[in-house]
Amino acid sequence: MGRQLLQGVAEQPLAQITAAVDRPDTPAIGVDVQVLCGEIPTGVTVVDSIQSVIGSFDTIIDFSAPSASIDLLNSLKGSDARVVIGTTGFDPDQLEQIAEASKSMPIVFAPNYSIGVTLTLSLLAQAASALGDDYDVEVIEAHHHHKVDAPSGTALKMGEVVAEALGRDLKECAVYAREGITGARDPKEIGFATVRAGDIIGEHTVLFAGNGERIEITHKANDRATFARGAVRAALWLSDQSAGLYDMTHVLGLTPTGAN
């Protein structure tokens, strides 16, 4: 994703790469961004510390790991930086820390920066509101075998959107595993199924199953560049925003589909 983000910025005439940060153990440290992403005349080299580049950028796009994202926000306290967070897998305490940080800095926080996924979330809210409690809901997602969190942040967001539209609390109705004699399905539950295999970039389906029919709303990503382009679009949009916590529905001017 780092290289995709660099390419996404390079494709956008209103954006410019001024800094790049990666883990200390990566071979990219010290390498010019131009070498990583083709003929991009930036003169920017990858560093291993955010502290060394604070003040050299207006907005930072973060696709890392939960602990690294929190460390980033802590490092940016008191600065004028804006942050786009694409990391997933946060625990409740970390989510609270993100919300707290947004009181003093503008943050776009979304589990998925695909424009198609954002539109899919709006469709899911409409479908759930129209179908009501007469349809069972299952969320099925698939990703590559390197992904470390499950279900995906996008799948959880889809579950949150559906639960909110149905007047439910996902924390109380979500079912993440079924094995053995489980008994009949609770009509209020929202089930999740996870696949990790090969190089699947990302596939999400929400199944609404009723008596005699079922409706499936699916999004499939074929290229990680779509996430990078959405994140860059979010970064440009964020340049005019005051402190607060936003998601891609705000960026696209859609009706928000619930808080992160």
Q: Which of 103, 143, 157, 219 is catalytic?
A: 143
Residue 25: helix, strand or coil by DSSP? coil
Tell me the longest C-alpha to C-alpha distance in the chain.
62
Q: Is the peptide bond before 151 cis (omega within 30 degrees of 0)?
A: yes
- The radius of gyration of the chain from alpha carbons, rounded to an integer in Å, stands at 19
Cα three-residue angle 111-115-117, rounded to 5 degrees: 55
- The alpha-helical segments, DSSP class H, found in 17-152 are 33-36, 66-75, 92-101, 115-131
Whether residue 188 lies in the annotated active site: no
Residue type at 84 in one-letter notation: V
Detail the DSSP E strand segments found in the chain.
20-21, 46-47, 59-62, 82-85, 106-109, 136-143, 174-175, 190-196, 202-210, 213-221, 244-246
Contact of 89 with 148, CB cutoff 8 Å = yes
Q: Which of 144, 145, 147, 250 is catalytic?
A: 147
Rounded Cα distance, 16 and 13, in Å: 8
Whether residue 143 lies in the annotated active site: yes
The phi-psi region of residue 198 (left if phi > 0; otherwise alpha if psi is between -120 and 50; otherwise beta) is: left
Rounded Cα distance, 22 and 258, in Å: 31
Positions marked active-site: 143, 147
